[in-house]
Structure 1
């Protein structure tokens, strides 16, 4: 009996130890790179030796699905990512919990005209980010290319084969960049510009990290990136530079408490630390290079470091997170069917368009100019019109669960139609451009 009692006591003690260990672990679900997460993990654990930070890295789309699938009590504690519309999705599904006591009162209420924190108080700006263009200075010099400053520059023929981007369906930061262009230029004009830019693309990568890594090492000359990728390369000593186009936006990268997480109290401490002066100062680490939410008067910023409020004043886009969230699935799916999965065909059409344009400038021909205009229209027109993305029934289809057989059948059929139509359009555009070039001889 004594042995049984001792065994029971030991088992109970072991259970308490396990529970205590679990209570001291905060699981952070994030799309951020390890350079950032490791810095915060080490700094926080050094200040709070009783709490362990566990980093669970997933891209934004996968992170949302992961939280949705887990029952209450088994979910991660914190969501930490760049995409504001991702937090809107979680909020709409009642998967976030307010944590107003974690906010830093020294932070401004807005960045430009954009609220720093969720008006409903469910997620909070922890850093700031804008979207732009990075380039490898040695690569451009070797290829005798000027540094691009605006999105429209990337449609020019001299940049053919020199541009890289990641797929917005796999990268939350790229989705925000694409959405910024669409909001700034308008749906139809924005897609025309995006498709012309993508015709010059050398690659569409699976992960956002692959683009800055490729520009840093000279694999690609130019990358379409969120600012911290370009700034991190620059301040870490790579031969790269970065510019914000006029058509950009500055929005918060957010942090939030997940409803039904395991360790709410400890999670709040980490959130508060990330927004504190000490936590904000970490953003200036060359490997991180993000824009802080706190005024520079309370921090030690490197010389020449971009000032978020100044960038926001110059930015021409007032980003609408609700609009972005409502059409998120349509934009990412359409991009994949027209660009990611049809890049070779789009490249071929674009090369033919550039060649015809050059030939017709040297020897003008009215009929050739007409054929070239038709080729551009075919190659650079979205397969989904603006009226469709204002149709709630159309948008709702893309928000339905793909595990439903009927929904999956509808969406798959629609996407296959887009893919087929895109291929046909690009092949016709290439043929028309080649005819136009022939008329200039």
Structure 2
């Protein structure tokens, strides 16, 4: 072949240079990973390919231990390669058919793989044996997922909670309180134009921070949730990954950082000024799943099952407790291993985590808009952050001017409305769900929608900034208006009540099985403590209701200026009746005998009649006492009994549809009459009073089953609350109190035979409700996984460069 002088230069540019670039890229991959992704199975054994969100430190620990195990030897596994793809690339990576296992990243990520039919059934006998020892739920969160045929498709291998890590030194230097909830993080007090006090991760770059954003959207709803995220971002610096967030809070760049629990635990270990906080009633416990990827080589399935079985075994579970990992295993038995015995700190964290009371989180709902969330966050917050902080700075300045002569001014009671308008999402949830799969798979809408969203949200921020510059303070003396009170859903033991107000207000509902109501749901105390926000769209989910019961309710609203309105349906109360789908459940059976009589008491979980069959032998219960009035608390009196005699009895209750008999598993209950009548009043012990801003809980025990009446008031006991159920363990909540106020009270108790007593015997006791204050929180902490190198992007780049070489050769021919 003849070559001209310039042909060498042309070949260098079109052929050799791209080839050199490929070697450079591969060299970079080698330096950043634990194994070269192009490595193939060795002749001696099987190489597993695992798609993961875990850190190299974590998976190297598991790799070393697994390869040394009998499970790896039996499955002929001699190597494991881990691919640390970013969340948005998982679907594409799994679709290549080269991945054997998915491991780590949270239920939403795995449910998204399921939605693309990329997850295989887990039916290996060894795996199933280990899975059987894993709980179905922890703190209300699912630890396993099943398909439509009830076959297992993923299981949790570890557990996590989600919150934020604070640096006390930074917050103390700014004289700021330690926050306890997400909603405190959007407070203007945490805004700093010069050096932001909070760090958040860009959603596509961090699985754990994305889960936090999903929690906030489900806790507060799509619209208000985006307002909260936007205002929080106005107080924050946006980092490109969870490790950068962790570093920022650990080294004191910021005072607060969004973290998964084990990141927080790691920060606390490395810097004593750091503390991990689980937001009170605003977080969840999450499974860290593992699954089989569909489409991988069937010849490698035994090897993949061996790895999963190892991860779920006690030996594998113990590895989570290693000092270089610091994570909470899903199985309590991990703490019985030698390494588990050395980690009482993580055992304490384990117990705190499994007893966490969080929100009702719907993994399917999160998965339905997951793709849109990733890229809408980046478009509306990350890529428009400069415009966002400029608008938020103006709103904060106007808020700080409230109550002064300076202008502009935004009052506290208007702040929520400004937050909602600032972060009003450009897409509703239905549209987000429709876009989600295309965005997740990297389809055409991703680039187009992102640029449109960014341009539109910048305009929205600009409008709000301009409006805030002329905001005027006004006196609000108008009561809020309530409308659209609806029972939107109910079943046998729960109901959802919704209503609207014309301005942001508290959410309060009084309800009960009679027109006396007696039960209350209210978020007013949380709003006063900045743990919740006033809203215009109100939702109350009532649970543990009485099956088949007819409930009465009223709703009320109070704005931040103190204006109040109650809606009781013009005096008739709103009502709903639950569906009766189950037989009544009988509980708390007690017998209170005298010398010639006895009172039999019990509870049912729904309104029922009352019947007791009794006799002097357990095979002949020939006597009956019956009351057809349907109640929850049942008391029947047996008369004409013989002193010093043993009687046997069984309980019957019917709700009119279903009938329940409780005969103590065919053994009958029993009691013995006394020789003389009981004339002694009950005695109180173990007395305790606990207060909040607006309530007091009085707890005590009595030496026999008793009823209780507590008389209380300011100055004198003019109000009362009573419990007519006979019990020896008592916990009475007095609600609707005023903060920082002293109340006097006394207690009346009476047993089944009306022997009564008073506590104290004379005079009154007193308690004082809490003062309004933002308290600090003490919880436990952990470490997080480090997001890795995006091999998929490199793989696509290599493909592109090979294409350039081939094209250049064609042109040279």
Normalization by structure 1: what TM-score?
Answer: 0.84
Q: CA deviation at 1:413?
A: 4.3
Counterpart mapping for 1:211-230 below 5 A? 211-230=245-264
Supply the distance in 2 between the matched residues of 1:230 and 1:401 (Cα, whole angstroms): 31
Q: CA offsets, 1:102-140, max 9 Å, x none?
A: 242322121123221112311110011111011223322
| Mapped contact 2:103–2:291 kept (Cα < 8 A) | yes
| Mapped contact 2:372–2:433 kept (Cα < 8 A) | yes
CA gap 1:22/1:339 in 2 versus in 1, 3 angstroms: farther
Supply the distance in 2 between the matched residues of 1:122 and 1:205 (Cα, whole angstroms): 33
**Is 1:26–2:67 an aligned residue pair?**
no
Q: CA-atom RMSD, angstroms?
A: 2.9
Supply the distance in 1 between the matched residues of 2:44 and 2:457 (Cα, whole angstroms): 51
Which has the larger displacement, 303-312 or 151-160?
A: 303-312
Structure number with the higher strand fraction is: 2
User: If you compute each CA radius of gyration, which structure gives the higher value, 1 or 2?
Assistant: 2
Matching residue within 345, 357, 369 for 2:387: 345
Q: CA deviation at 1:397?
A: 3.6
Supply the distance in 1 between the matched residues of 2:134 and 2:414 (Cα, whole angstroms): 55
Structure number with the higher helix fraction is: 1
Q: Tell me the residue number matched to 2:176.
A: 145
Matching residue within 57, 61, 79 for 2:84: 57
Supply the distance in 1 between the matched residues of 2:415 and 2:305 (Cα, whole angstroms): 59
| Mapped contact 1:180–1:319 kept (Cα < 8 A) | yes
Counterpart mapping for 1:155-166 below 5 A? 155-160=186-191, 161-166=196-201
CA gap 1:38/1:238 in 2 versus in 1, 3 angstroms: farther
**Is 1:136–2:167 an aligned residue pair?**
yes
CA gap 1:216/1:272 in 2 versus in 1, 3 angstroms: same
Q: CA deviation at 1:249?
A: 0.7
CA gap 1:401/1:21 in 2 versus in 1, 3 angstroms: farther
Secondary structure, aligned partner of 1:289:
coil
Secondary structure, aligned partner of 1:274:
helix
Q: Tell me the residue number matched to 1:389.
A: 429
Secondary structure, aligned partner of 2:402:
helix
Q: Tell me the residue number matched to 1:418.
A: 453
Q: Tell me the residue number matched to 2:422.
A: 379
Secondary structure, aligned partner of 2:383:
helix
Supply the distance in 1 between the matched residues of 2:420 and 2:370 (Cα, whole angstroms): 25
Q: Tell me the residue number matched to 2:327.
A: 290
| Mapped contact 2:408–2:471 kept (Cα < 8 A) | no
Q: Tell me the residue number matched to 1:88.
A: 111
Secondary structure, aligned partner of 2:331:
coil
Instruction: Tell me how many residue pairs correspond in the alignment.
Output: 409
Secondary structure, aligned partner of 1:223:
strand
Secondary structure, aligned partner of 1:51:
strand
> Does 1 or 2 have the higher relative contact order (CA < 8 Å, sep 6+)?
1
| Mapped contact 1:360–1:437 kept (Cα < 8 A) | no
Q: Tell me the residue number matched to 1:114.
A: 141
Secondary structure, aligned partner of 1:40:
helix
**Is 1:248–2:288 an aligned residue pair?**
no
**Is 1:303–2:326 an aligned residue pair?**
no
Secondary structure, aligned partner of 1:248:
coil
Supply the distance in 1 between the matched residues of 2:208 and 2:259 (Cα, whole angstroms): 8
Q: CA deviation at 1:323?
A: 0.6
Q: Tell me the residue number matched to 2:398.
A: 356
Q: Tell me the residue number matched to 2:371.
A: 329
Counterpart mapping for 1:29-48 below 5 A? 29-47=51-69, 48=72
CA gap 1:322/1:45 in 2 versus in 1, 3 angstroms: same
Secondary structure, aligned partner of 1:29:
strand
Q: CA offsets, 1:244-297, max 9 Å, x none?
A: 002001110101111232422122111111111111112122332222111266
Which has the larger displacement, 295-304 or 260-269?
A: 295-304
Q: CA deviation at 1:414?
A: 3.7
CA gap 1:358/1:22 in 2 versus in 1, 3 angstroms: farther
Q: Tell me the residue number matched to 1:274.
A: 311
Q: CA offsets, 1:169-222, max 9 Å, x none?
A: 2222222111111111111221121111111012x2222221112222222221
Supply the distance in 2 between the matched residues of 1:382 and 1:424 (Cα, whole angstroms): 13
| Mapped contact 1:398–1:411 kept (Cα < 8 A) | no
Supply the distance in 2 between the matched residues of 1:85 and 1:403 (Cα, whole angstroms): 15
For structure 1, list consecutive stretches of 5 or more residues without a partner in the other structure.
1-17
Q: CA deviation at 1:366?
A: 10
Normalization by structure 2: what TM-score?
Answer: 0.47
Supply the distance in 1 between the matched residues of 2:397 and 2:83 (Cα, whole angstroms): 48
| Mapped contact 2:53–2:85 kept (Cα < 8 A) | yes
